[in-house]
């Protein structure tokens, strides 16, 4: 147990909105996101986790600066910046898809500045439909490597839905997307799209997608129960993800719905204002989406899920991942009217989906829960449910709600070792604020003595 309570850290929320004021007030009240600057300072980015202690210290790499602009996109023109003065530039009149036109002019490492609200939706980047398509850009067998950054303050530059592809749909090969960085933008789903960003099945390029300081918004056509989009990101193709400071308007199903992340992936400082399903859903489907299993460590840090309710899943859902799974300083808050679970890490080995398993039969790697916080007085299921994990290590939590705090489903898909590093006795820890503390084996409540036996240093 740490000797002193860490100082509260504010979570960024855009502008003086009611949601922003709510988050700030909860942070000041100590209900949101306690962080420990001393611990953060000693964490080092790692590519390979060798031990549970390595996993507890796992951290994201620092964000590199944006290089000099090479192109500027405006609603009616695309500018090639070829020198220090305006006379060196080449100005092209833009057609229906200015961002695609800039991508076709660009070269690896390009930095494209977005100035204003850019027309064109359902953009295809890296591949897609064969033939001469004005909405598609690829560089042959050279992978796309580009930064697209908004030039207006506070995410006031806007683009619309885009899809990351590898290869064309006639079988012609392309280099796909090696790296794409989207920064300081609003990305709006189009009227004909379900998502802001998509990666279709079969587009596995194992490239890196970096999304920093971005707002997701739905279309204005009243679709998807009036929210305008079903998903912020729906990625069936396998990619590596670095997502930080994303704010999502209310969404019908999931903000981040991602198949088999490939490589260390980071979800940091993100907020969402409501969902009928989840904020995050990670899946690893062997049958429905054939291909290699997801791998690498998943880091969820300083995330706020506000207002998840409705059908399946929980605010954070991981249905299979064979690498490490770290939740640090994450918070789930219920909107008036009720909620479902806060966290579900489970095994989906249904006939239609299928699961990947490691050599010991686990579908999920080791799980670290460090300062996970829940306020859900009207939930319809257990707040945290975990099964099929190689191990579970819990370090600080605050679970305030009407259901069981932790449910470990040990029958069909048992977890390996389950340990709490809080205080001894564990049953007396201040973070329990629920009618039931721990359920084991599909419904059996552990006694306080059994809970105390899960104290981590006892090993």
Q: What are the residues whose beta carbons fall under 8 Å from the beta carbon of 324, sequence distance 6 or more?
A: 49, 55, 58, 297, 298, 365, 366, 367, 368
Strand partners, 449: none
Selected residue with higher pLDDT from 226 and 193: 226
Average pLDDT over residues 233-248: 97
- Residue 2's pLDDT band (boundaries 50, 70, 90)? very low
Across 103-131, average pLDDT = 97
pLDDT digits (tens, 9 = 90+) for 84-111: 888 899 999 999 999 999 999 999 999 9
Query: pLDDT value at position 12?
Result: 29
Q: How far is CA 308 from CA 255, 275, 318, 414, in A?
A: 11, 5, 15, 27
Closest by Cα among 159, 154, 186 to 16: 154
* Residue-wise pLDDT tens digits, 255-305: 999 999 999 999 999 999 999 899 999 999 999 999 999 999 999 999 999
The pair phi, psi for residue 21, each rounded to 5°, is -65, -35
Query: Do you know the residue count of the chain?
Result: 459
The pLDDT-based confidence of 50 (bands split at 50, 70, 90) is low
Structural tokens at position 400: 């305030």
Most confident among 32-36, 218-222, 402-406 (mean pLDDT)? 402-406
Report the phi/psi class of residue 435: left, alpha or beta, with left for phi > 0 and alpha for psi in -120 to 50: alpha
Residue 87 DSSP code: G
Query: Looking at the predicted structure, is the pLDDT value of residue 328 above 90?
Result: yes
Q: What is the mean pLDDT of the chain?
A: 89
In the chain, where are the structural domains located? Answer: 33-458
pLDDT score for 338: 87
Q: Mind giving me the DSSP string for 307-369?
A: -B-SSSSEEEEEE-BSS-EEEES-EEEPPTT-B-EEEEE-----TTT-B---TTS-SB--EEE
Q: Are 229 and 218 in contact (CB under 8 A)?
A: yes
Question: Does residue 452 carry a pLDDT above 50?
Answer: yes
Cα separation, 420 vs 100, in Å, equals 51
Instruction: Using the structure block, give the residue that is written with the tokens 């990305």.
Output: 187
Q: What is the pTM of this model?
A: 0.90
299 to 14, 45, 246, 267: CA distances (angstroms):
23, 11, 15, 6
Sign for the CA dihedral angle at 352, 314, 278, 360 comes to negative
């Amino acid at each position: 147990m740490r000797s002193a309570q860490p100082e509260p850290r504010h979570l960024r929320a855009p502008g003086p909105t009611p949601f922003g004021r709510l988050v700030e007030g909860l942070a000041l009240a100590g209900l949101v996101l306690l962080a420990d600057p001393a611990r953060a300072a000693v964490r080092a980015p790692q590519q390979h986790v060798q031990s549970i202690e390595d996993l507890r210290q796992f951290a994201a790499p620092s964000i590199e600066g944006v290089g000099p602009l090479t192109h500027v996109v405006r609603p009616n023109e695309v500018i090639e910046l070829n020198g220090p003065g305006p006379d060196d530039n080449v100005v092209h009149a833009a057609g229906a898809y200015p961002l695609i036109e800039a991508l076709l002019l660009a070269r690896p490492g390009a930095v494209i500045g977005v100035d204003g609200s850019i027309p064109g939706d359902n953009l295809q980047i890296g591949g897609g439909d064969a033939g001469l398509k004005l909405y598609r850009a690829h560089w042959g067998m050279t992978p796309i490597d580009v930064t697209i950054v908004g030039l207006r303050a506070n995410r006031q530059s806007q683009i619309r839905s885009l899809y990351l592809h590898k290869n064309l749909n006639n079988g012609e090969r392309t280099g796909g997307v090696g790296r794409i960085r989207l920064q300081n933008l609003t990305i709006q789903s189009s009227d004909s799209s379900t998502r802001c960003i998509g990666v279709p099945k079969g587009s596995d390029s194992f490239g890196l997608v970096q999304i920093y300081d971005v707002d997701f918004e739905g279309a204005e056509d009243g679709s998807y129960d009036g929210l305008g989009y079903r998903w912020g990101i729906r990625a069936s193709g396998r990619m590596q993800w670095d997502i930080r400071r994303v704010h999502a308007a209310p969404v019908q199903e999931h903000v981040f719905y991602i198949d088999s992340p490939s490589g260390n992936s980071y979800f940091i400082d993100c907020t969402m204002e409501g969902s009928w399903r989840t904020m995050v859903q990670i899946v690893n489907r062997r049958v429905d989406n054939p291909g290699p299993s997801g791998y690498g460590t998943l880091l969820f840090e300083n995330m706020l899920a506000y207002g998840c309710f409705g059908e399946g899943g929980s605010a954070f859902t991981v249905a299979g991942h064979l690498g490490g799974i770290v939740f640090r300083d994450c918070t789930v808050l219920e909107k008036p009217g009720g909620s479902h679970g806060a966290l579900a890490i489970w095994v989906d080995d249904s006939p239609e989906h299928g699961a990947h398993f490691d050599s010991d039969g686990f579908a999920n790697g080791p799980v670290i829960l460090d300062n996970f916080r829940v306020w859900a007085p009207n939930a319809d299921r257990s707040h945290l449910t975990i099964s099929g994990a190689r191990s579970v290590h819990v370090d600080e939590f605050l679970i305030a709600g009407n259901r069981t705090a932790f449910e470990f489903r040990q029958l069909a898909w048992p977890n390996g070792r389950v340990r709490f590093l809080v205080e001894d006795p564990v049953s007396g820890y201040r973070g329990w604020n629920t009618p039931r503390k721990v359920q084991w084996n599909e419904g059996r409540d552990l006694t306080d003595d059994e809970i105390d036996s899960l104290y981590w240093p006892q090993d």
